Structure 1
């Protein structure tokens, strides 16, 4: 007869539930990536710009032949040219309430169009078509503004919605082509830019878009009932631009659609496997991006009575790509980049009128240098011997691979 001598195991104490892992606080880099690198890039651009300003000044050039005999003349003239130019740039853009107002008005369309490019970037699309979308938005907003007769307020709202709808429609064409046929958005948006320019010129050749008694390719200005209210030299469109930036931030960071856009932009194949409708996301992203570009058009048409003309859009749609890249495809960064470019644009005129008579084109060189250094953070960090703290890399479109 056998006996069981196995010692019973002691009862285990009930396991305590693990405390949930604390979510790390949101770092500044989450909402404003690479601040140090971006500021260093701007500083480097200003240093190189100072050299260019100095050697574009006539007095500095005249001091070069006797530089080794009287070097002080060269440095005095160079310092005077750089100091006068940058002071004029600063005071001309933010030196007074009037200057700040002009800068904000100039920045508003850049912010709106840049947000359209930014949103497409986050969905993995490289939207080169902001210029064409802006032209269609201007065409729609302008037509409603100078042909329809509606009560004030309602007229402005309808014209504003028409501009957004015109840009959204043009963006939808590229989005549907990408979603349904796989057509590359870079190619289609570039072609749509040319088509939009041709369509604008065609419409301006028709009586419905021309000024009475004139055969010039220029439309009448919109009625006063369709213009943004103004306070001083500011119009309500500036506030609309900042509200649009807040809406894009909420859309990308707090909504389901924004999560799907970011997921598709990061990895469309994994998103498709997870059950997301990738073609619908592409189409929706381009519709919203086009609508934002159309909103940018209303800043001029409804903001300060711009007439429709072949050159009315300038290069805002293409500058928007630069603004989005400089802003690292984030809404806040895009707003700050738009403000910077607006300030450089306004201050460039003041530089030209300053005692140094600096060419206005040098502000465009400054813009190009800033974007160059921001796009190459390793170069900036190497030149300034900075540690690589850029954990948030630039969000680039995934669409290059088709």
Structure 2
């Protein structure tokens, strides 16, 4: 008998963890001499109450959906892929090459080509750590975090020495051709009398991220490969006994994971900057770890957790702009959310289990 219903594990535990993180965050804001109620009000107003704020919130959410799904797929195979940052960087390189060197006639075709390139480059960057884990026993955490630094070095070299336009000072490529520019939310939803999403970077990539959530759900819970990934994640020895190849599953799961991280570059490189720049990922690969943990590695949970972190990013920018609260406080709040939803998960879970067991609400 399970100690509490599945809905409580999926909804109640993360919700209480978030509330605890919010409470501690409020105490931190009080400690620096600011009003936490006013701070929360300002965050909500700046991130949710105006279309421009929503645009920025959904832009960040899009990044975190891709990196959260990246980590979630690897989690299902019992692997901790913390290389999403580097895989997204290299995915951006694929997007830049596709946009700069192929004469696309329209953004729809450019989007298809850039999507394939981003996923392929991200998956390729995940392949070596996957192979080393599967064949040599190298720990995936060590190799993926090392590949983050290698990716940054590779990207810096390429931008400075190969793709930087003549006479330019910035380590960045030339702007992409106009035919590759993606429609923004302002282009799609604004009218002459209602300028929605004015100036925000949210673009059509958000809908690709939502589609990715659906496809990952279908993969993990409705395909044979997904069943093998989950079986391997639950028990490698049982998976071997059932004829599932650990090498095959390790490599395939990491390729899918790396490809999802690479897709984030469509949003940042093709959708927002319209050129490849250094530091476009801005730590989104690491935020994906928290998103996957909070979302319980389920695409619906990943979407909701990504929305929360998108709110925190945009709300934090508003706090830094209009109050004396430093922008770094949002990093503290993110850390608290990770702490309560990850490391201190049992602090919430165990009392809830006792409550449900006491009232006979466990499930058989």
Please state which band the TM-score falls in when normalised by the shorter chain: 0.7 to 0.9
Go from structure 1 to structure 2 and tell me whether the alpha carbon gap of 1:383 and 1:348 turns closer, same or farther (over 3 Å shift). Answer: farther
What is the aligned partner in structure 1 of residue 194 from structure 2?
Answer: none
What is the aligned partner in structure 2 of residue 38 from structure 1?
Answer: 14
What is the aligned partner in structure 1 of residue 32 from structure 2?
Answer: 56
Q: CA deviation at 1:213?
A: 1.9
What is the aligned partner in structure 1 of residue 160 from structure 2?
Answer: 205
What is the aligned partner in structure 2 of residue 29 from structure 1?
Answer: 6
Q: Deviations over 1:66-106 (max 9, x none)?
A: xxxxxxxxxxxx6xx22211001111111122222221111
CA RMSD in angstroms, aligned pairs only: 2.3
**Given the two structures, how large is their TM-score scaled by the length of structure 2?**
0.87
Rounded to whole Å, the distance in 2 between the matches of 1:137 and 1:391 is 45
Q: Deviations over 1:169-222 (max 9, x none)?
A: 111222222222222211211221111111111111224x10232243221222
Greater relative contact order (Cα < 8 A, sep 6+)? 2
Task: Decide whether the 8 Å contact of 2:47 with 2:314 is kept in 1.
Answer: yes
What is the aligned partner in structure 2 of residue 343 from structure 1?
Answer: 311
Query: Greater Rg, structure 1 or structure 2?
Result: 1
**Given the two structures, how large is their TM-score scaled by the length of structure 1?**
0.79
Task: Decide whether the 8 Å contact of 1:33 with 1:328 is kept in 2.
Answer: no
What is the aligned partner in structure 1 of residue 40 from structure 2?
Answer: 86
Rounded to whole Å, the distance in 2 between the matches of 1:217 and 1:261 is 40
Go from structure 1 to structure 2 and tell me whether the alpha carbon gap of 1:386 and 1:338 turns closer, same or farther (over 3 Å shift). Answer: farther
Rounded to whole Å, the distance in 2 between the matches of 1:245 and 1:385 is 30
What is the aligned partner in structure 2 of residue 331 from structure 1?
Answer: 299
Rounded to whole Å, the distance in 2 between the matches of 1:140 and 1:252 is 26
Rounded to whole Å, the distance in 2 between the matches of 1:39 and 1:192 is 34
- The unaligned stretches of length 5 or more in structure 2 are 187-196
Q: CA deviation at 1:359?
A: 2.0
Q: Deviations over 1:136-179 (max 9, x none)?
A: 10011012213332211222221221111100111122222222
Rounded to whole Å, the distance in 1 between the matches of 2:320 and 2:132 is 45
Q: Which moved more, 1:370-379 or 1:104-113?
A: 370-379
1:238 and 2:206 matched:
yes
1:241-256 equivalent positions in 2, closer than 5 A:
241-256=209-224
Q: CA deviation at 1:384?
A: 9.0
Rounded to whole Å, the distance in 2 between the matches of 1:214 and 1:97 is 35
Q: Which moved more, 1:184-193 or 1:122-131?
A: 184-193
Go from structure 1 to structure 2 and tell me whether the alpha carbon gap of 1:317 and 1:391 turns closer, same or farther (over 3 Å shift). Answer: farther
What is the aligned partner in structure 2 of residue 317 from structure 1?
Answer: 285
Higher helix share: 2
Aligned length: 341
Task: Decide whether the 8 Å contact of 1:109 with 1:316 is kept in 2.
Answer: yes
Go from structure 1 to structure 2 and tell me whether the alpha carbon gap of 1:385 and 1:333 turns closer, same or farther (over 3 Å shift). Answer: closer
What is the aligned partner in structure 2 of residue 102 from structure 1?
Answer: 56
Rounded to whole Å, the distance in 2 between the matches of 1:181 and 1:198 is 25
Rounded to whole Å, the distance in 2 between the matches of 1:384 and 1:87 is 30
Rounded to whole Å, the distance in 1 between the matches of 2:321 and 2:278 is 28
SS, match of residue 304 in structure 1? helix
SS, match of residue 150 in structure 1? coil
What is the aligned partner in structure 2 of residue 362 from structure 1?
Answer: 329
What is the aligned partner in structure 1 of residue 124 from structure 2?
Answer: 169
Q: Which moved more, 1:328-337 or 1:222-231?
A: 222-231
